[in-house]
Amino acid sequence: MKPGRRRANRRENVAGYTFLLPWLIGFLGLTLGPMIYSLYLSFTKYNLFADPKFVGFDNYVRMFTEDPQFLQSVQITLVYVLVGTPVKLAAALGIAMLLNYRNRGTGFFRSSFYAPSLIGASVSVAIVWRAMFSSNGPVDSSLSLFGINIGGWVGNVSLVIPMMILLAVWQFGAPMVIFLAGLKQIPRELYEAAEVDGAGPVRKFHSVTIPMLSSVIFFNLLLETINAFQVFASAYIISNGSGGPAGMTNFYTLYLYKRGFADGQMGYAAAMAWVLVIVVAIIAFILFRTSKSWVHYAGENK
């Protein structure tokens, strides 16, 4: 290599790392370093005051064998993710198709449907939700018009998860907007061709819309699933931090928070966090692996 070239390379390296310095400090000091430390903590007993005490896999074994609260929190979180995410995505796709039917006048609807996604994570909305679904709240009293008397969802063991799922589904606007952008990319000729072959609406949805939208579906599915695992603020507010009734809003991250910061079991909470990382990694891996068989990227021949 010529000396001049080498000097230019060195200059690029210096410039690169200078521009990257804030990110690099943050990555090493606030992400990678803490990750390694939390992995270590997950093998210890640590309460913030005494030194961490190494206990091997005890925390991990304990959560799966001796902690019914953990197992319950896994169970309700899985229900929330496995039911909530598909329903939310179906709503997002359905409304996106409805909006794609006509172009004029959709701006207002698009914005209105998106608004909940933006504010949904706020404490204010969790408070509204609790009020709306409490006994004698608006939801209950409208249902009683149809002769259904529930007496409040918030304190009801079997209805509090559906209520949380409704809150998640209500925020379908963000994936909807992404679906809508994807729908607009589908060439009209494809529908035209399907029409010539005698395809009805169902067939066209199945053979044109779904394959052409598959990369967008994949993207939304991945992000929404990972987000759903991390529900925290709404569960905290709706149950006043208790996870009740009967542990039915004790979602994974709320339970992790309670173990770590209320009970001072930092090692156990760190182990829980790592279980979450592993689960999210496995799900991402499975989605990426299976995506090869169902995700169709534009310009690829299949």
Partner 1 sequence: MSTIEVDRAAFLEGQIEPQPRRRRPKRKTVNTVIWFVVLLALTAIILYPLVWLVFSTFKPSSEFGQNPGLIPENPTIDNYLKVFDGIAGTPLWRFFGNSLLIAVSAVVGILASSALAAYAFARIKFKGVGVLFAAMIGTLLLPFHVIIIPQYIMFQKLELVDTYVPLILPKFLATEAFFVFLMVQFIRNIPRDMDEAARIDGAGHTRIFFSIILPLIRPALITSAIFAFIWTWNDFLGPLLYVNSPEKYPLPIALRLYNDATSTSDYGATVAVSFLALLPILIFFIVFQRFLVDGVATQGLKG
Q: For the chain, first and last CA: distance in Å? A: 44
Which of these, 188, 216, 166, lies nearest to 100 by C-alpha position? 188
Tokens 């690099």 locate to 24
Q: Is 13 one of the binding residues for partner 1 (CB under 8 A)?
A: yes
Print the binding letters for residues 98-127 with partner 1: x by CB under 8 A, - otherwise.
Answer: xxxxxxxx-x-xxxxxxxxxxxxxxxxx-x
Q: Is 71 one of the binding residues for partner 1 (CB under 8 A)?
A: no
DSSP per-residue string spanning 268-286: HHHHHHHHHHHHHHHHHHH
Q: Is 26 one of the binding residues for partner 1 (CB under 8 A)?
A: yes
The separation between CA 281 and the C-alpha centre of its own chain, rounded to angstroms, equals 13
Print the binding letters for residues 197-236 with partner 1: x by CB under 8 A, - otherwise.
Answer: ---xx--x--------------x--xx--xx-xx-xx--x
**Least spacing, CB of residue 301 vs partner 1, in Å:** 24
Q: Strand, coil or helix: what is 45?
A: strand
Tokens 């689960």 locate to 279
Residues 6+ apart with CB under 8 A from 116: 125, 170, 171, 172, 173
Among 191, 211, 242, 296, binds partner 1 (CB under 8 A): 191
Among 61, 157, 284, 286, binds partner 1 (CB under 8 A): 284
Q: Interaction with partner 1 in 239-268: which residues (CB under 8 A)?
A: 240, 253, 256-257, 260-261, 266
Q: Is 140 one of the binding residues for partner 1 (CB under 8 A)?
A: yes
Instruction: CB nearer to partner 1: give 133 or 160.
Output: 133
Give the whole-angstrom CA distance, residue 167 versus residue 171. Answer: 7
**Least spacing, CB of residue 55 vs partner 1, in Å:** 16
Q: Is 282 one of the binding residues for partner 1 (CB under 8 A)?
A: no
52 DSSP assignment: P
